[in-house]
Chains A and B, each alone.
Chain A
Amino acid sequence: TQLLEQSPQFLSIQEGENLTVYCNSSSVFSSLQWYRQEPGEGPVLLVTVVTGGEVKKLKRLTFQFGDARKDSSLHITAAQPGDTGLYLCLHPRGKLQFGAGTQVVVTP
């Protein structure tokens, strides 16, 4: 079983600030996905990273896959209230297991 650990568990910031959330494991992953879940809805895929060292950008969101493919980070620049949600990482192979998630709250 490949355990995904996410940190921090909770993050509350003001609009305009930057934030970074992490997804770590002791195992090597062939790929990793990040999802965002808004209140009352199911998770929605943001990005898939596949190559060690890969960096992907989605507007103000920057995703990085560690060189050793054991960890990933999500950085949000100039956060907005619309970024509020639960951010989840997933290794999309085998028996699917999500990390516990990071709850991000961005206040105006």
Chain B
Amino acid sequence: EAQVTQNPRYLITVTGKKLTVTCSQNMNHEYMSWYRQDPGLGLRQIYYSMNVEVTDKGDVPEGYKVSRKEKRNFPLILESPSPNQTSLYFCASSSFLGGETQYFGPGTRLLVL
């Protein structure tokens, strides 16, 4: 089954404790991206990747890091989480950036205390 998976689905952590949210897709997609979703603000892009070893900042990259060492994986790293990073996070992928369907993962709900 074609899908985007994220782990964990739910996470409660404390300020400053490094965490990684994994994202994996099995569709051989070139393009992958991370979003955060907050009430009233919609989906805002954090980082995106056009292909392996190619990443770039989205609209809200501060406090986040990403890597794309393999085509299928695109982890989101919070080196020192803060309460303002409490949010719902989505990973998405598409075959290329040209009008193709964005396939989203199920989301990761993060609470930073």
Chain A interface (Cβ < 8 Å from any Cβ of B) = 9, 30-31, 33, 35, 40-45, 48, 50, 88, 90, 92-101
Contact = CB atoms under 8 A, between A and B. Distances in A.
A75 to B, nearest CB: 21
A67 to B, nearest CB: 19
B102 A45 contact: yes
Say whether chain B's binding surface is mostly helix, strand, loop, or mixed. loop
A77 to B, nearest CB: 25
Contact of A41 (B35, B40, B42, B106): B106
Interface in B62-113: 90, 92, 94, 97-102, 104-107
B59 interface: yes
A48 B99 CA distance: 8
Contacts of B94: 92
Interface residues of B, number: 24
A93 B97 contact: yes
A65 to B, nearest CB: 13
A93 B43 CA distance: 16
A44 B105 CA distance: 10
Given A96-B33, A101-B42, A45 B101 contact: yes
A97 B59 contact: yes
B100 A98 contact: no
B2 interface: no
Contact of A30 (B43, B90, B99, B101): B99
Nearest to B37: A37
Interface string B26-68: 0000000101000011110100100000000011000000000
A65 B98 CA distance: 18
A62 B40 CA distance: 25
Nearest to A41: B106
